[in-house]
Amino acid sequence: MYSPQLLKSLCLIAALMSTGCAPGPQIHNDTTVLPEASTTASNTTQKDITIAPLPLEEIQATSLAALATLPQQEVIPAEDDGLWSRIRAGYTIPAVDLTHYRRELEWYRRRQDFLLRVGKRAQPYLHHLMTQIEQRGMPAELALLPVVESAFQPFAYSSGRASGIWQFIPATGKHYGLRQNWWYDGRRDIEESTRAALDYLSKLHREFNDDWLLAIAAYNCGEGNVRRALSRYKGSAQHPDFWQIRKQLPRETRGYVPRLLAIAAVVAEPARYGLKLDPIADERYFQRVELDGQIDLALAASLAKISLDEIYRLNPGFNRWATDPDGPHRLQLPVERVAEFQTALAAYPREQRVHWRRHRIRSGETLGGIAHKYRTTPTVLKQANRLRGNLIRAGRNLLIPVARKSLQSYRQSADRRHQRAIKSPSSGSRQIYRVKKGDSLWSIARHKNLRISQISAWNGLNRGDPIRPGQRLTLWQTSNKTLSVVNAPTAGAERTGLTRQKLHYTVRRGDSLWRISNRFKVSIAALKSWNKLGGKRLLQPGQRIKLFVDVTASGDS
């Protein structure tokens, strides 16, 4: 029998659940990534889960403590639910006290609908993740890291330019061999990104004295931040753990590790927390099929007798309507469709796997202009037509690869996802601005008396996204031109009393303090002061730095 205190605590839980008086963090329809909460030069990621402070903390502490101390014989054992059981059996990260992740656990405990959605999204990928983790002898808890990173959304894209279920930023992705171009982004490729993520986590595990919690923290905020937190540790432990340096880490990371431990606890004993997980069969969902060249994804879907959306779900690395002409020449298909697809593909003429259109070159046309017209790239046109350079002659013909169906049919292509991300105001006049050499979102916003955030929203851009000469941007000129301003701190030779706009700039390959200072018309001394860049500390690609720049009409970044 339960004690009177335990019964009282359980009653409190029921009251809380019935009144809904303990609101938790928000999930923005599971696809919106919340604003950036940390800065790193390694693998900055933005999550679609942010744990907010809870009211009635003392009551919830009592109620959750009651749940955590239920007699063992009263805990409902987890049933055999396929892959979830396999994950539980592979847990190896040492258990920690519930108080370390109580708040995160309480959030999951009140989000049954979210857990079911995440489980459905994870279904095609989870068997592959577990197989790779087991082959490396790594903790099974890592298979749940994409829940925290992306909610298992393969097309998740953060304001820090992190992409895929493992949320790699471009620089870290390239470092771990993830190719990124117009046709293909390896950060979203399930096989490739999983390989890269486990490589990275293994490296971090070795670097931080085989401490998995420190490795996971470094995956979130970068090894530099963890090393600095360790260097500031003042206790007596020879090898401080995550909990001992937690307060020295970026705020987002302080909740990141507890969030993983909380979802692992839920998967371990869902019934203990009044939750359920839909079973996932412990069997391979997809299988790799090798190809001998490029193929239209609509044709591949037709030959495999599956939907085009399913093709993209299993092959989210492909950005366009076809596979990358330079490879990888492979597809992931449902296991049960592989044999029939291979038979149908063998009988299909190779030269017909991509449609071609003949374009007669007119006077004044350029290779780049033709590529833009047909939604392809100059490189593809040069390869298809065996051109050595960009010189073309009027009157000659070019072969252009074109999609088999209308581009609107490829709903998960980068172009279609970009169009869905664009937000337009309800009023105002629409203008098209062609990007010039040397332009930045900041300079365009300043010239047009707009906010950077407005331009980004209207064009489906995230902070740090590069723009290129010739690119067209949609701008809306509205009647309201009152823009917010901030007062920058003065530093070095900077004058006082200036009204300035605060910007966050992502360092690119080849950047230097001199180059950035020259571009934004600020002093190197100010850059160093604003970002605490002392001594010989070097800038790293992907690093985000803070700037305050003079404005005529300011806005946010």
Catalytic residues: 149
Residues 6+ apart with CB under 8 A from 534: 528
The 3-state secondary structure of 275-338, one letter per residue: CCCCCECCCCCEEEEECCCCCEHHHHHHHHCCCHHHHHHHCCCECCCECCCCCCCEEEEEHHHH
| Paired tokens of 122 | 């994870």
Nearest by Cα to 83 from 117, 116, 129? 129
How far is residue 59's CA from residue 12's CA, in Å, rounded to a whole number? Answer: 8
Nearest by Cα to 129 from 328, 334, 299, 286? 286
Q: What angle do CA 290, 297, 402 make, to 5 degrees?
A: 120
If you search the block for the tokens 């006082």, which residue do you land on?
496
Strand partners, 355: 402
| Paired tokens of 515 | 């180059």
Q: What angle do CA 518, 519, 524 make, to 5 degrees?
A: 40
Q: At what angle do helices 212-221 and 190-207 cross, to 10 degrees?
A: 120
If you search the block for the tokens 């009251």, which residue do you land on?
15
Q: What is the largest CA-CA distance in the chain?
A: 91
Region for residue 438 given its phi and psi (left: phi exceeds 0; alpha: psi -120 to 50; beta: otherwise)? left
Nearest by Cα to 331 from 286, 374, 382, 368? 286
